[in-house]
Structure 1
Amino acid sequence: METKIKAHFTAPELLNTTNPISVCLIGAGGTGSQVLTGLARMSHSLQQFGHAGFQVSLWDDDIITDANRGRQLFAECEVGLSKATALITRTNRFFGTAWKAIERPFTVDTATGRNAIYISCVDTAAARFGIAEILNDLDLSTHRVDTPRYWMDFGNSRDTGQVVLSTIGSIKQPASEKFATVCSLPQVTQEFAELLVQGDTEDLPSCSLAEALEKQDLFINSTLAHMGCSLLWQMLRNGLTFQRGIFLNLMDFRTAPLPMP
């Protein structure tokens, strides 16, 4: 008997919507700043196919320092400004969007509203567990374009990283004779909790770019951001995905997909 390929079909209201998909991007650092650019390019490209694109809110309470320049796309004149505001202002001017910068951390006390897609680019396991707590308490009873559907988490060390896609709740799948459909994708905090805690560090902010590059290599963030954005792009263009994430080792240029559960 032939074994069916496992696949997850994208929540249907995200494919042919007339209203922009609400996206909450948490973290405007090395990865988050690159993901924001990817989302802007993706939104513009989707609109060329008649899709409504994205409406993004970027959450980060950090300030640009000189050590951020190089790994992150900040200019000398932006040092001292809010990361979220600087990035969103630049994106809105370039792409003509009206996206929002929120100069606060994303916590139980500050998080408001609902978004269809949550993307986290944070540094600690504690931040991820906090995000999971917020997402697990969201109201999923109504079915609109802002109904919470997906959480995509980016994480990395110096030369390695991963992207993990999970569902928020269960997403009803269509009947398929060709594929074994998967309605629920586990959260990174459920599946890799022990590894997250083991890899957690309390590093202080770097004082220079050279010091920062000892902790995270120059291109790990941008490479990981492009791969994660490509996964989201394929979900929205093809309507399904056969993988739920990516593992990346930039030291020896290896990548591996994270298969369906």
Structure 2
Amino acid sequence: MNTEITKNQENKIKVHFTDNTLINPTNPVTVNLIGAGGTGSQVLIALARMNHALTELNHAGLSVRLWDDDVITEANLGRQFFAECELGLSKSVALINRANRFFGTNWKAETQKFEKNDLGKFKSNMKSEIYISCVDSVKSRFDIAEILNELKIDKGYYRNQCKYWIDFGNSQFTGQVLLSTIGNIKQPNSEKYEPVENLPFITEEFGELLKNSEVEDNTPSCSLAEALEKQDLFINSTLAQMGSSLLWNLFRNGLTENRGFFLNLKSFQSQPIKL
């Protein structure tokens, strides 16, 4: 009898069921989008499209806050969603203003890094239900993980309880997107599936790989040609579309068998990351 139960469990597909407060929210689901560069600028547009689709489906939609302390330069034109008339403007302000005008949203821009204040305290606007990081350094990922680990402990019973972290990362031709839970997400009982309540952070699961990765060149590019030596023209937009589809499926289907993917744009290969 025990052998049969074990076999049945082994045959079940592992899935993660979306937290119910995201499926049927009373208020718009809060999102902190960290980084407004090559990937972040594309993800913001995807979130705006997603918000419109959700509201058309009688969902409360999304409320996004975009974090970036950088300004628009010549090297950003073409590869990122910026125009020549926006040179010198804050990336986050330019993008949020454009999204709000086009989609009629009331999203917010932060012209600063996503980090604790000088006293080591959290800003009230740092708390959200979903965190999406589109950063270009290993240190930034570990800093975000540290903040989310502390927020995880301080969950309480307030609105905007942190639930998920989606991290986007890439090199010139390759990249990955990984979905993590911030703490455990209570799962329903299922006869068909094996629910998974905890999806580890990228810094926990691939921490050593991140630390041992090649030294990153964060020197600002002076031209688009120089920028393309670091990141291919379409790697960011491809990652943004596929990664945003992962989030969309959490809302639309209420569950996922995959927690992300690895992408190689040079060989046109994509490998899902199963639970």
TM-score interval (norm. to shorter): over 0.9
User: Which residue in the other structure is 2:133 paired with?
Assistant: 120
| Map of 1:219 onto structure 2 | 234
What is the letter of the counterpart of residue 192 of structure 1?
F
> Is the CA contact 1:26–1:120 (under 8 Å) kept in the aligned structure 2?
yes
How far the C-alpha of 1:142 sits from its partner, in A, is 1.4
User: Which residue of structure 1 lines up, in the alignment, with residue 251 of structure 2?
Assistant: 236
User: 1:106-162: CA deviations, max 9, x gaps?
Assistant: 112275231000000001110000000100111212164x11000000000000000
Q: Does 1:91 align with 2:91?
A: no
Q: Distance between the aligned counterparts of 1:129 and 1:119, measured in 2?
A: 14
- Cα separation, 1, equivalents of 2:211 and 2:44: 27
Q: Aligned with 1:215: secondary structure?
A: coil
Does 1:55 pair with 2:63? yes
State the TM-score, normalizing by the size of structure 2.
0.92
SS at match of 1:30: coil
After TM superposition, the structure 1 = structure 2 runs for residues 1-261 of structure 1, keeping only pairs within 5 Å, are: 1-2=7-8, 3-109=11-117, 111-113=122-124, 114-138=127-151, 139-142=154-157, 144=159, 146-199=160-213, 200-260=215-275
Amino acid at match of 1:131: I
Distance 1:177 1:79 in 2: 56
Task: State, as a whole percentage, how many aligned pairs show the same letter.
Answer: 61
Looking at structure 1, the residues matched to 206 and 76 of structure 2 have their Cα atoms a distance apart, in angstroms, of 29
How far off is 1:203 after superposition? 2.8
Contact 1:108–1:130, Cα closer than 8 Å, also in 2: no
Partners of 1:197 and 1:80 in 2: how far apart?
A: 33
Partner-residue secondary structure (3-state), 2:39: helix
Alpha-carbon separation, structure 1, partners of 2:78 and 2:137: 22
Alpha-carbon contact 1:33-1:73 (below 8 Å) kept? yes
Amino acid at match of 1:103: T
* Residues 153-212 of structure 1: per-residue CA shift (max 9 Å, x gap): 000000000001000000000000000000000000001112212334143000000000
After TM superposition, where is structure 1 displaced by more than 4 Å over at least 4 residues in a row? none
Shift of 1:53: 0.6
Matched residue SS, 2:97? helix
Q: Which residue in 1 is equivalent to 2:4?
A: none
Q: Tell me the amino acid that sits aligned with residue 237 of structure 2.
A: S
TM-score using structure 1 length? 0.97
Select the structure of larger CA radius of gyration.
2
Structure 1's unaligned 5+ residue stretches are none
Deviates more, 1:103-112 or 1:22-31: 103-112
- Give the whole-Å Cα distance in 2 for the aligned partners of 1:170 and 1:19: 22
Number of aligned residue pairs: give it: 259
Question: SS state of the match for residue 36, structure 1?
Answer: helix
